[in-house]
Amino acid sequence: MSGHSKWAQIKRSKGAADIKRGALFSKLSKQITIAAKSGANPDMNFKLRLAIEKARGNAMPNDNIDRAIKKASGAEGDTQMQSLMYEGYGPAETAFIVEAASDNPNRTFQNIRTLFTKNGGNLGQPGAVSWMFSTKGQILVEKDGNIDQQELAAIDAGAEDVRRSEEGMEVYTKPEQLGKVKNALAEAGAKIVQAEVIMESSQGVDLGPDQIPAVQRLYDALSDDEDVVAVHTSANL
């Protein structure tokens, strides 16, 4: 998604969190469990560290976080959680990538396919749209303090791109450099709203006013599915 729509999505997500906190915690737990499969030590596993920070930022209790980490090793009796990815097409020739975590891939596949079909899209084959997306680290910084100094700190730490906006600053990094740049920004006094690994399209699609509602409906329907942990789209909503 574009930077502007990303900020808007955060505002919507925070509002929804108050209403659907249980569902939110479930998604966060799945993200932690999947990340922990690559190592249960957050100091050595930056994806796990980011997942934990995101969970804490949403007021998820430490007990829930600990249980989610233990599930990855089977300590909680659950070794079946799998990381899944689906690719598809939405209205107005938009592309979608859906990341999910599930202990029942057949159920998840059927649900995702149905959501695409009911909302004017269709599920594609693996590789159908992923070629136009690249994986990046993204850090959103609120406009606060010395933004020029913060930008320089990010660049010195290895940021590949910095984009200013009305809300603040979007910093893009290589995924493995996300933690380093985030720490540099924090030391420079930046107010970090979110730091995560995203998939950004190289072929963004600008939508007309009459096209936005249909694409947004598909995006929201996919995001609300209990097994979906992230949705990426080429649409500039």
Question: Most confidently modeled of 86-95, 176-185, 191-200?
Answer: 86-95
The listed CATH number (1.10.10.200, 3.40.50.150, 3.90.700.10, 3.30.428.10) that belongs to domain 3-73: 1.10.10.200
From CA 33, how far away is CA 20, in angstroms rounded? 20
Between β-strands 205-206 and 235-236, what pairing exists: parallel, antiparallel or unpaired? parallel
Predicted TM-score (pTM) of this structure:
0.81
C-beta separation of 185 from 71 below 8 A: no
Average pLDDT over residues 163-174: 92
Q: What is the pLDDT of residues 123-142, one digit of tens each?
A: 999 999 999 999 999 999 99
Helix (H) or strand (E) run with residue 198 in it: strand 191-201
Within the chain, all domains assigned CATH 1.10.10.200 are found at 3-73
The listed CATH number (3.40.50.2020, 3.40.50.1370, 3.20.20.60, 3.30.70.980) that belongs to domain 82-128+202-236: 3.30.70.980
Q: What is the pLDDT of residues 82-99, one digit of tens each?
A: 899 999 999 999 999 999
pLDDT at position 118 over 60: yes
Please provide residue 106's backbone torsions phi and psi, each rounded to the nearest 5 degrees. -65, -45
| CATH class of the 132-200 domain in this structure | alpha beta
DSSP letter for each residue of 98-124: EEEEES-HHHHHHHHHHHHHHTT-EE-
Within the chain, all domains assigned CATH 3.30.70.980 are found at 82-128+202-236, 132-200
Q: Residue 130 gets which letter from DSSP?
A: G
